Amino acid sequence: MEAKATHRYISSSPRKMRLVIDLIRGKSVEQAIEILHFNPKHASKDAEKVLRSAVANLYNKNEDEKVDIAKLVVKEAYVNQGPTLKRMLPAPMGRAYRIRKRSNHLTVVVGTKS
């Protein structure tokens, strides 16, 4: 049994989020939550929130069955690029530099060990 959680339009670049997500892919849920909780990167807060949401979705999906958290694994975790906000910054001699404020979509799938 599996459950999925997504968080869209996170205001962080996908490249920075992938550094955090690569740490937890394939790990047990308990270990992944520990890694994210003590990781100093800002993206780890959003990743931990999505992971906890996926676990809660699994519990809500199977209310009649008892799910042991020790047997749960992060089966999939991936980051897709979201929309980019384009802003202009004044530059010398009448020019303008384009600033790209990137965003991402995070998806985490948890399930039991098979």
Q: What does the pLDDT average to over 34-56? A: 97
Is residue 70 packed enough to be buried (19+ CB in 10 Å), middle (13-18) or exposed (0-12)? exposed
Rounded-to-10 torsion of CA 87, 9, 15, 76: -170
Binned at pLDDT 50, 70 and 90, residue 65 comes out as: confident
What does each C-alpha distance from 95 to 20, 82, 84, 86, 87 come to in angstroms?
Answer: 36, 28, 21, 16, 13
Q: In this structure, how many other beta carbons lie within 10 angstroms of the beta carbon of residue 18?
A: 16
Is residue 91 helix, strand or coil? coil
CATH assignment of 2-112? 3.90.470.10
Binned at pLDDT 50, 70 and 90, residue 7 comes out as: very high
In the chain, where are the structural domains located?
2-112
| pLDDT tens-place string over residues 68-109 | 889 999 999 999 999 999 999 999 999 999 999 999 999 999
User: Which residues, in sequence order, are bridge partners of residue 7?
Assistant: 106
Could you tell me the pTM of the whole model? 0.92
